[in-house]
Amino acid sequence: MSKDSFVESTETLKKTVPLMIKHKVPTTPTNYALWYTYATQEQPTLNLAVDQGIEALGHCTPTLCDNLYQEHLACQTDKNMAQLKQSLTAMMQELTSTMSDTLSNAETFQGALSHTFNKLESAEREGLSLEDTMTLVRELIRESRQIQLTTGTFKGQLSNAQQEIAALREALSESQKEANQDALTSLNNRRAFERDIHSYSDNQIPYSLIIMDIDKFKDFNDNFGHLLGDQVLKIVARRLLECSRDYAQSYRFGGEEFIVILPHKTLSSARQQAETIRRAIEKISVLDKKSGQRINSVTASFGIATKQEDETTAEVIARADSHLNQAKQLGRNRVLPIS
């Protein structure tokens, strides 16, 4: 490194660190790379994105830093590796869902077998007609085909992925501990939410919260299988992203529950956005490829809350969650409070 380059990098360093301190940005390698580049002013589009983000949010959230780094600085190899991790984790989740459905169908088939055999034994004792006996046989064949289809799907998936799962399970488990993105839906995950919400609190930035829960989601898994349930989660996540505006940030909080942070938004504005999301979800239509049935009954319930002065993060979440529970008790597919 030449003397001029050393002096120049030292001057940039003197600008970078105070900027990170000012905006309370953790000094991770990616954050430092982001803010070092910002200080050099070599990428005007990055500087503009940083300035616009901070102006809109009131501070630089961890998720904003991550997203800007990925968009402006991450090399293609880094992006490919992140996508690979996410794809592999999603594959493992899909296999787990398929296994769960297979076991469930196997139990159903076992019950059908027992029921049919009992009727056949009764037919032998009581002398049922040939037509009645053939009806029992046809029922058994239908059930057999269903379990054959399910186990065949699972066997094919397991055969293709068995070696990858064995080799990558442990590595993925470790890497996902530090991940901030949900593999199934591609939304930010609960870990990212906790980082961001605490940054709002630490910087005393006003915000509103939307907590939503898919109505009767267990019924989708029980009636149509976990794979269809996963498909519903993915579509709901897309609707959340499509409805997000003004730097609203969406997260998969866990299971079928999602959270949206709305910076600088009043309760009235939060309610309007929640209603927009609710109507978008209400329009979802999903095709169950196994049965050919189209499901048009996806709805969600919402609870909203605006952070009050001196209120803790936990109290805001608890208040929004209480409104969500009330919405479910009053019949679901609604936003509370009304005003």
Contact assessment for residue 240 and residue 258, using Cβ atoms and an 8 Å cutoff: yes
CB 297 within 8 A of CB 288: no
R_g of the chain, CA atoms, integer Å:
26
**Which neighbouring-strand residues pair with 300?**
214
Longest dimension (CA), the chain: 103
Active site residues: 256
Beta strands in 104-221 (DSSP E): 207-214
- Those residues whose C-beta lies under 8 Å from the C-beta of residue 276, and which sit 6 or more positions away, are 243
Report the b/e string of 289-310 with b at 16+ CB within 10 A: ebeeeebeebebbbbbbbbeee
Tokens of 102: 């297979």
Bridge partners (DSSP) of residue 101 are none
d(CA 44, CA 41) in angstroms, rounded, equals 6
